Chain A
Amino acid sequence: MIIGRDLKRIYGKGPVQVLALNCVSLEIKKGEFVGIMGASGSGKSTLLHMLGLLDRPTSGSISIDGIDVGTLNERERTLFRLRRLGYVFQDYALVPELNARENVYLPSMVRGMTPNECTMVCSEILDLVGLKGRSHHLPGEMSGGEQQRVAIARALVNKPTILLADEPCANLDSQNSRIILDLFKKLNGDLRQTIIMVSHEEWHKTYFDRIIYMKDGLVEKK
């Protein structure tokens, strides 16, 4: 369960301050597939960054599974991200020198899994995202859609409580976008995986259980 209370985020100082989030409150239940939608600059990515512990709110609080994440120091936040959150970026963000399998099992290595455990978990997840045969390919040798699926596999490898995706289909064509969204839907349905996804594509709406609309840093009531 994620609970955000009065989240405010102000960028900049003095006269050039930008209010990116303006007292946003929200609750997301376990197993929900939530879409955050809105126009560019509406604050949807900022909100995702707050929930994904990539940024700290200027004021307000976030509680994930009963833990007030605002009280965690940087190292604890890093560990929290490693153990409980999975993050999928718009531009895949894979390590170019690591092949698909290595990119996926990197977070498990940090958690202390043995090479055998890593290989096993990695095979399962790559199979799940339909990339078992591509495990030894470097990111540069894969298509955008394949890279994004590797990124999803990496985000899932530590069995996170919450999967956060920041416009994961922005760089993909509609066919590959559909593959990614179908995969999210499957993960959500089969594994009860909580997913929070930022998108501005209207046709994505059909995949979400619930949509949080953002406008000018506020949650819009619809």
Chain B
Amino acid sequence: MFEESKVAFFLAKRSIVRGNKGTLYLTILILGMVFVNLIFLPSIITGVAVLFNQQSIDYSYGNLVIEPSKNQIYINNVSELQKKVEHIPGVTGVSPRYSTGATFTHKGNVVTATLAAINPDDEKTVLKTPSKVITGNFLSSGDTDQVVLGYQLAGNMNEKLDVIPSLGGVSVGQTVDITFSNGVTRPYRIKGIINSGSYSADGSAFITKKEYESVIGINDKANEILVRTEATGNENSMRNTLISFGVQEKIWTWEEKSANFLNQIIGSFNIINLIGTIVSLVIAIVVIFIVIFINTVYRRKQIGILKAIGIDRSIIIKSYIFQALFIFAIGTVVGGIFLLLILQLLAVSPIVFPGGPVAPVVDPMLIVRSIISLLIVSIIAGYVPAWITTKEDILSAIRG
């Protein structure tokens, strides 16, 4: 068995070293490209998922969201609960807020959007929204008649440029009328406009919590409390910690809050990814198969001669498998180099998605999976044509 493999390896080595270099290089290149394709697209999809996940944490939910208990509209005694949560180890920020719907009117443009009523100082400890002001300023704790708008809600003079219904291109210093859920309408001066890259934040408006409570006529309440923790990834354990410290309200992790949205996106991307992977592997099989098949058919006579002089069929098949494995090994290395170059290039000039720049995230398991897939593909594509060609009887092969 070992002797056979040695002879097969010898034949394969000589065929590679002294065979047609052009075909060899082309096949290696194609295999390298297939390897890149197998890894690149899923890495981008993972990168998009990471981006959206980070956006959910940074601009929508923090790490944990405390919501009113069942059948309650608000969380009562929010100041007390806020203090309690702030003192829990691992918590770095707490922001009680009201998240509600409101109608915004400016010069005939009427838009319904999310209105977040916040304590600006608290909000800064949990979300990054306050730092994303592109014009004007963010809210201060004493502001009463001022509003900060997301840039998509503020909109463009040319409404064709708007992604969502907007106020038609309002700017800092102009006034917007806000109609609250209790029917009260008040004018607010636009203090700033933010652009965070997050759809939810950029389509929302922000006023102070104090102002909202004065309009609605409530005090020391909130319909959600966002909590920021030291580390991301241990939300479930932090939830248990909050419960153990006596938090009785409902507690959600950011993943649970954004599950539907993210799952839809990732689900769709996974389908694209699966199709891409299958197509890539089929291309790899077909290319290696064709190359080896043409090679074996071209050497049909030689294969017949080898069999005639006593070289067993299994040795000949093995030699073609070794050739396919060589193409696989070098192709994978070449693909790896291409991939590194692409990653370097994207680090300098990232792909910009609507949510922000996306960096590809290469999962080591994905690399292992891709290598194994290509290995299997190479063995199959090397074995089958060699098996077909060597099956022919010696004289037919020799006569060509």
Please state if B312 and A110 are interface contacts (CB–CB under 8 Å). Answer: yes
Does A220 count as interface, using CB distance less than 8 angstroms? no
A95-B14, A95-B302, A98-B18 given; 15 more Cβ-contact pairs under 8 Å: A55-B395, A78-B307, A78-B312, A82-B309, A89-B398, A93-B301, A95-B305, A97-B14, A97-B17, A97-B18, A106-B11, A109-B3, A110-B3, A110-B311, A138-B18
CA distance A158 to B7 in the complex (A): 15
Does A154 count as interface, using CB distance less than 8 angstroms? yes
Does B286 count as interface, using CB distance less than 8 angstroms? no
Tell me the minimal C-beta distance from B103 to chain A in angstroms: 80
Tell me the minimal C-beta distance from A86 to chain B in angstroms: 8
Please state if B395 and A107 are interface contacts (CB–CB under 8 Å). Answer: no
Hey, which chain B residues are within 8 Å of A205, CB to CB? none
Tell me the minimal C-beta distance from A25 to chain B in angstroms: 22
Tell me the minimal C-beta distance from A42 to chain B in angstroms: 17
Residues A109 and B10 in contact in the complex (CB < 8 Å), given A54-B395, A55-B395: yes
Interface residues of B in 361-400 (CB under 8 A from A): 393-395, 398
Please state if A75 and B312 are interface contacts (CB–CB under 8 Å). Answer: yes
Interface residues of B in 7-36 (CB under 8 A from A): 7, 10-11, 14-15, 17-19
Hey, which chain B residues are within 8 Å of A55, CB to CB? 393-395
CA distance A96 to B19 in the complex (A): 9
Please state if B394 and A107 are interface contacts (CB–CB under 8 Å). Answer: no
Does B313 count as interface, using CB distance less than 8 angstroms? yes
**Residue in B17, B305, B310, B395 whose beta carbon sits within 8 Å of that of A78 in the complex:** B310
Please state if A49 and B395 are interface contacts (CB–CB under 8 Å). Answer: yes
Tell me the minimal C-beta distance from A154 to chain B in angstroms: 7
CA distance A107 to B310 in the complex (A): 7
Tell me the minimal C-beta distance from A171 to chain B in angstroms: 15
For chain B, the count of residues having a C-beta within 8 Å of the partner chain is: 27
CA distance A76 to B42 in the complex (A): 51
CA distance A49 to B306 in the complex (A): 15
Tell me the minimal C-beta distance from A197 to chain B in angstroms: 16
Instruction: Enumerate 21 A-B pairs (CB-CB under 8 Å) in ascending A order.
Output: A52-B308, A78-B310, A78-B312, A79-B310, A81-B310, A85-B310, A87-B309, A89-B305, A93-B301, A93-B398, A95-B11, A95-B302, A96-B18, A97-B15, A102-B10, A106-B311, A107-B310, A110-B311, A112-B3, A138-B18, A155-B309
Please state if B309 and A154 are interface contacts (CB–CB under 8 Å). Answer: yes
Please state if B14 and A107 are interface contacts (CB–CB under 8 Å). Answer: no
Chain B: which residue is nearest A82 at the CB level?
A: B310
Tell me the minimal C-beta distance from B387 to chain A in angstroms: 14
Residues A110 and B315 in contact in the complex (CB < 8 Å), given A83-B310, A102-B14: yes
Hey, which chain B residues are within 8 Å of A83, CB to CB? 310
Does B257 count as interface, using CB distance less than 8 angstroms? no
Hey, which chain B residues are within 8 Å of A158, CB to CB? 310
Interface residues of A in 92-116 (CB under 8 A from B): 93, 95-98, 102, 106-107, 109-110, 112
Tell me the minimal C-beta distance from B127 to chain A in angstroms: 67
CA distance A66 to B285 in the complex (A): 48
CA distance A110 to B314 in the complex (A): 12
Tell me the minimal C-beta distance from B341 to chain A in angstroms: 33
Q: Which 3 A-B pairs have the closest CB atoms?
A: A82-B310, A97-B18, A93-B305
Interface residues of A in 46-93 (CB under 8 A from B): 49, 52, 54-55, 74-75, 78-79, 81-83, 85, 87, 89, 93
CA distance A24 to B310 in the complex (A): 26
CA distance A89 to B302 in the complex (A): 12
Please state if B306 and A95 are interface contacts (CB–CB under 8 Å). Answer: yes
CA distance A138 to B18 in the complex (A): 10
Please state if A81 and B7 are interface contacts (CB–CB under 8 Å). Answer: no
CA distance A158 to B301 in the complex (A): 22
